[in-house]
Amino acid sequence: MMSPAITIEALLVLDAIEYRGSYAAAAEQLNKVPSALSYIVQKLEEQLNVTIFERQGRRSVLTPAGKHLLAEGRKVLSAMNALTAQTQTIANGWETKIRIACDSILDINPAFRVVQHFLEEHQNIEIDVQEEVMNGSWQALIQDKVDLVIGAPSPVPSQKGIRAIKIGKLEQVLVTHKSHALAQIKQPVNKSTLATFRTVVIHDSVQHEIPRSVNVIEGSRHFYVTSVNQKIAAITVGIGIGYLPKELVENLVANDELMIVDLVEQLPAQDLFMAWKITNKGKGLHQLRSLLESHFG
């Protein structure tokens, strides 16, 4: 197998010459003699059969071909630097990526602020976030598709090697658009009255177990969606009624886009959890988890 004409060393030399403007200055930067740099560039030009630099006074200036070579070469150098950093990160017990599943019902902004602080300190770690609904969060963790779940609802799966901590309670309210027929009924409203209206319901994202729905009004017709944003949109245009987190709809209620329905029987608050696999010993996950625990605690 023939050795490639373009080597990492050659790219470093081109980068230094272009940045410093001369062979002499680049040689000083790379701790080499100018003749060594000239040889590397000349050999590269011969192998590629192109002219990379041309003289303009005392400066060495890239030709169009040279500019393209260096622009693409710098991408390679950047990738090499990233690979080096990632390899060192793994060797020291830190992950290169942390995968997170957030339940659709959770206000993600506070958690993202914590993640942002974590990334300021660990810039070589990637974060991959996906949205799940109800049991979908637990399934993603059990099947090792994610390393951490945030906002997963009770109950916590048993005997799955999962560690879970409660991070708060979810208070849900029944909402409707002010022009909806339910808004015209005398309140508080009982369950039998609610059953006469269409309910907007979010699909559980679980795939291989029995999906479940919470706070579904028995006997009502259903309009199914896949996210909280879709549910809010459907209720806002009057398609149906539905339960939503109180903190997510406060602004919509204040702006008269939605109204909270007063019920005879209010829903109890629901526990929300952050969870991870006990076998996951990554330092990155441990630190991120600690930051999130402090925030939610």
Its pTM surpasses 0.85: no
**What's the pLDDT at 81?**
85
Measure the CA–CA gap between 78 and 97, rounded to whole angstroms. 18
Read off the CATH number of the domain in which 157 is found.
3.40.190.10
CATH number at residue 229: 3.40.190.290
Q: Give pLDDT tens digits for 26-81.
A: 889 999 998 999 999 999 989 999 999 888 877 778 899 999 999 999 999 988 88
Residues 6 or more apart from 73 whose CB is under 8 A from it?
6, 11, 14, 15
Average pLDDT of the segment spanning 212-228: 71
Q: Residue 128: enclosing H or E segment and its boundaries?
A: strand 126-132
Query: Which of 46, 40, 5, 38 lies closest to 22 in space, CA to CA?
Result: 38
- Whether the predicted pLDDT of 1 surpasses 60: no
Q: What are phi and psi of 153, to 5 degrees?
A: -85, 160
> Are residues 125 and 257 located together in one domain of the fold?
no
Q: How many domains does the chain have?
A: 3
- Stretch (H or E) spanning 15: helix 8-20
Whether residue 285 is found in the same domain as residue 163: yes
pLDDT score of 4 more than 70: yes
- Is residue 132 within 8 Å of 101, Cβ to Cβ? yes
Give the CA count within 13 Å in the CB-facing half-sphere of 17: 29
Cα–Cα distance, 197 to 220 (Å, whole number): 6
Residues shown for the chain = 297
pLDDT of residue 117: 95
Q: Which domain holds residue 80?
A: 8-91
Q: Sign of the CA dihedral 105, 111, 116, 122?
A: negative
Nearest to 16 by CA among 58, 92, 74, 102: 74
pLDDT for 129-180, tens place per residue?
Answer: 999 887 888 999 999 999 999 999 888 988 778 999 999 888 889 999 988 9
Same domain, 189 and 264: yes
DSSP string, 65-81: HHHHHHHHHHHHHHHHH
| pLDDT more than 70, % of the chain | 93
Is the model's pLDDT at 208 over the cut of 50? no
Instruction: Give the CATH number for residue 40.
Output: 1.10.10.10
Amino acid, res. 41: V
In this model, does residue 2 exceed pLDDT 60?
Answer: no
Residue 38 lies in a domain: yes
Kindly report, residue by residue over 81-125, the tens digit of the pLDDT. Answer: 878 877 777 777 788 899 999 988 888 889 999 999 999 998 888
Q: Do 185 and 257 sit in the same domain of this protein?
A: yes
* Judgement on whether residues 285 and 262 belong to the same structural domain of the protein: no
